[in-house]
Structure 1
Amino acid sequence: MKIGVLVTGHPPENMRENGAYDQYFARLLEGHGFEIEGWAVVDGQFPPGIDAADGWLITGSKHGAYEDHDWIPPLEEFIRAAWAAGKPMIGVCFGHQIIAQAMGGRVEKFAGGWSVGRTGYQMDGKTVTINAWHQDQVTERPEMAEVFASTAFCENAGLLYGDTFWTIQPHPEYDADFIDGLIRTRGKGVVPDDLLEAASALLDQPTDRMEVARTMADFFTKARTR
């Protein structure tokens, strides 16, 4: 199965030794039999159409879904075309947000501030820990979306759109080293110091990122009604 990754952002310049974000997801989903190809839509590089892959994944980004960028309207059109065709799609962080926005939801800078580092989410009746890095949130979900993951801080942390779209606010592709790098690069002076310190203190604690990776792989490969 070929998965097309729509890359909507880049790692900080001094953290690019491990490649672009499509490669982070290739490593996360390694062993599940996927062929991965990335398109840097953030740089205007779009796939020729929704049939260029069997399923799609939209990455995180430093940009806001509500910002005025030339690549955002065609990305939203691509999302809606994938929905109309029944193409499975996963969205992570910005991907989670832009899918919600494209499908009629609302994304905003959350008045409650930031969520960074190791975070526990209530997901399918149990607590699943994943690394987070966001201030923006889906504050109003689309009518067809159902919540499958949440916290007191982030109500719409995981959204399921029938059997076609699966989206999540935190970052299963981020390991402790990457979060540490973000704390040292993009965090200082932007995220409150107490949140950065708390995230740093938990860097050596395990997460359930590979369990989430299996869930993502299962979503892509599941039998569908259309």
Structure 2
Amino acid sequence: MKIGILQTGLVPENLVEEHGEYPEVFMKFLTGYGFEFDSYSVVRGEFPPDPEAADGWLITGSRHGVYEDHPWIALLEDLIRGAVAAGKPIVGICFGHQIIAQALGGRVEKYDGGWAIGPQDYDLNGQNITLNAWHQDQVITPPVGAETVGSNAFCTHAALLYPGKAYSVQPHPEFSDAYTQDLIDTRGPGIVPQDILDQAAAKLGTPLSAQKLADQFALFFREGRIA
């Protein structure tokens, strides 16, 4: 099964050598499941020819907001709708979570409650999980037909299931503690309040549920379900 990775953001230049770009991060995250991968840097305007170019699609995170006026965002929304129409499963993470919702009729906003950074606890289908997060924007109103399957007090719609079509999550299961710490040190200052960065750094080392999400993504790509 070939998974097309749609890269919507760039790893900070000074962190690429150590951590890799997002397509490489996700290839590593999903290693061992027998997938083949292609990647397209849609943030740079590189798109697949059509939704049939892969058997499933994965949309990465990004520093951009889905409501920003960039030509590639509208093109990505068209691709998402085309993939849904073609029956190609889609997985979205953070920005990917938000752009799927927006493309299918939901609403995304900059959350006035602030930022979620570092390890966060979520209720995912009745199970408590912990994943690293890095976001202020949120899905405020999910599209018709989307099921909210993950949430916490800060983020009501932290995971959305579009049965047989798409599965998306707001946190970053692919973010290691080391990468999150480097973001705290290099991208956070001046953007995220320092007290939130300090609290996030202090929580790093909390056991994470990344493997559960990798298993869910693989199951969704193959069978259109998460359990």
Residue number in structure 2 paired with 1:9: 9
SS of structure 1 residue aligned to 2:187: helix
**Residue 34, structure 1, aligned to residue 14, structure 2:** no
Task: Name the amino acid aligned to 2:181.
Answer: D
Percent identity between the two aligned chains: 54
RMSD: 1.0
Matches within 5 A, 1:1-226: 1-17=1-17, 18-222=19-223
Tell me, in whole angstroms, the C-alpha distance in 2 between the residues paired with 1:101 and 1:222: 24
In structure 1, distance between residues paired with 2:37 and 2:134: 24
**Secondary structure of 1:30 counterpart:** coil
- Give the TM-score normalised by the residue count of structure 2: 0.97
Q: Secondary structure at the match of 1:90?
A: strand
Give distance in 2, aligned partners of 1:178 and 1:79: 28
Q: Which runs of 4+ in 1 moved over 2 A?
A: none
How far does residue 223 in structure 1 lie from its aligned partner after superposition?
Answer: 6.0
CA gap of 1:42–1:199, structure 2 versus 1, over 3 A, is same
In structure 1, C-alpha distance between the alignment counterparts of 2:135 and 2:224, rounded to whole Å = 32
Runs of at least 5 residues in structure 2 that lack an aligned partner in the other structure = none
Distance 1:205 1:114 in 2: 19
Look up the SS of the partner of 1:143 in the other structure: coil
Q: Give the TM-score normalised by structure 1.
A: 0.97
Aligned partners of 2:165 and 2:224 also within 8 Å: no
Q: In structure 1, what residue type is equivalent to 2:216? A: T
Count of matched residue pairs = 224
CA deviation map 1:84-141 (0-9, x unaligned): 1111000000000000000000111000000000001000111110000000000111
**How far 1:37 sits from its partner (Å)?**
1.2
**1:7, 1:131 → 2: CA distance?**
19
